[in-house]
Amino acid sequence: MRYLPLAFDLKDRPCLLIGGGAIATRKARLLHRAGARLVVVSPEISGELRQLVKDSKGEYFESRYHADFLDGAELVIAATEDGQVNADVSRDARAQRLPVNVVDSPALCTFTFPAIVERGPISIGISSGGAAPVLARRIRAQFEALLSPGIASLAELAERLRDRVKAVLPEARRKDFWEWVFSGPVAGKVEAGKVGEGEAELLQALEQWRGSPMPGGEVYLVGGGPGDPDLLTFRALRLMQQADVVLYDRLVSTEVLDLVRRDADRIYVGKKKEFHSVPQDDINQLLVDLAREGKKVLRLKGGDPFIFGRGGEEIDRIAEAGIPFQVVPGITAASGCSTYAGIPLTHRDHAQSVRFITGHLKEGELVLPWKELAVPGQTLVFYMGLTGLSTICGQLMMHGLPPKTPAALIEKGTTREQRVVVGDLTTLPQLAVDEQVEAPALTIIGGVVSLHQKLHWYRDSK
């Protein structure tokens, strides 16, 4: 590591900026946000830069640079288009042992500007030491995506109440308290924009912590999407990184599961056809028990937890037990798989409505409002319908849908193993056998399926 990352306190400190154009103005904006008093030297100075100087209670000189301008400066930046002037500034500043930055010239710098992620009081600097500034900016973009905008409000709340917490709790317990605040329901409410509610919960907890620490248990019900990890929400990813233990389903892809915090305990509670590893009631109770142990429990489900995912039942039990919880929606299989297969769920020429239907057999039968389903102008999406596919296609034809109605099976949709098998109501059941289609597979029926060849963009692997 050639450059040591440091945080300078520049509030009201004189910072000398040589240059008056666009590059100098960009640097001035950063210095001004940090509270610096700007001193600018350049024969020509832009209007915005003049205003920044005025706002910082600094001064500017419409003059060529000379070494006397260094007197009193605490930090120096050269941002001119004249290489000789930049070199002179670097030489003179080094002679006076002043920190100096020359834009786009790492060899002339004693410090460099990192790519900065800013969330109120929180700032993150990503530096390549001038070796690869574009790469540093790309990394910054990744951090920008991961960090909630509400982090700023959370940091400001902590700053506002820091002294109050310090007065109530001894040093040995303050760290645990703040850990609870930043990873529990207080943080969730503040980041969701409910700052007042979060502050009230923090203060209430603070009084309880006077006697004994809070257990801090919480449940995160998170939709993991249909398989492609790129389809996760940012909020889902943040909670996946906070969890102490994860309960996950069979439909959660390996790539998504790999994004869970590495040291989190993992408990498989998935269900397979004709085999239930953990009954639903036991899953519900396990979520409560783990949270009562003070753990942050991630319930990770494929697709969206509230669309044929029994998430409502789980949250009902958690709420009944008085356990704090958060719910994060995920892209449901109908949306993700159809998109990757090039099958729009609605289309002006083919379907003006869409219905999501469970195709799961109960006691060997599939009882559905077939007459309502077998109407033109709508798309039917069957979840868990592979076993009952012959029944589905037969009943729809019996109730009026034309036998040649397009139909498709999407196996392992959105993943690298995705396959799309296209036929119609008469041929699809046999195609499923011939092509050895396996679960998880989604069934889509309707005129929109005919657009698959034209619109699909995700290449099938088989």
- Quick one: DSSP state of residue 275? E
Helix (H) or strand (E) holding 301: strand 296-301
20 is in an annotated binding site: no
Three-class secondary structure of residue 292 per DSSP: helix
Point out which residues pair with 424 in neighbouring strands.
406
226 is in an annotated binding site: yes
What b-and-e string marks burial along 95-104, b requiring 16 or more CB atoms within 10 Å of the CB?
eeebbbbbbe
447 is in an annotated binding site: no
413 is in an annotated binding site: yes
156 is in an annotated binding site: no
22 is in an annotated binding site: yes
398 is in an annotated binding site: no
Which residues, in sequence order, are CB contacts of 40 under 8 Å at separation 6+? 16, 17, 18, 19, 20, 24, 28, 49, 53, 58, 59, 60, 61
332 is in an annotated binding site: yes
Three-class secondary structure of residue 357 per DSSP: strand
Could you say which of 176, 194, 271, 289 is catalytic? 271
Helix (H) or strand (E) holding 381: strand 378-383
Nearest to 323, CA basis, from 270, 361, 285: 285
304 is in an annotated binding site: yes
Nearest to 402, CA basis, from 430, 374, 370: 374
Contact 369, 435 (CB under 8 A): no
- Quick one: DSSP state of residue 81? S
Cα separation, 281 vs 285, in Å, equals 6
**By CB neighbour count within 10 A (0-12 exposed, 13-18 middle, 19+ buried), where does 386 fall?**
buried
Beta strands 275-276; 59-61: pairing state: unpaired
- Quick one: DSSP state of residue 231? G
351 is in an annotated binding site: no
Nearest to 38, CA basis, from 79, 63, 91, 75: 75
129 is in an annotated binding site: no
Is 249 an active-site residue?
Answer: yes
Angle at 176 between CA 174 and CA 180, to 5 degrees: 115
Could you say which of 92, 244, 249, 424 is catalytic? 249
384 is in an annotated binding site: yes
333 is in an annotated binding site: yes
**Interhelix angle 171-183/195-209, nearest 10 degrees:** 150
Is 295 an active-site residue?
Answer: no
Contact 101, 76 (CB under 8 A): yes
Question: From the annotation, which residues make up the binding site for S-adenosyl-L-methionine?
Answer: 226, 302-304, 307, 332-333, 384, 413
Q: Which residues are catalytic?
A: 249, 271
Binding residues for NAD(+): 22-23, 43-44
Specify binding-site residues. Answer: 22-23, 43-44, 226, 302-304, 307, 332-333, 384, 413
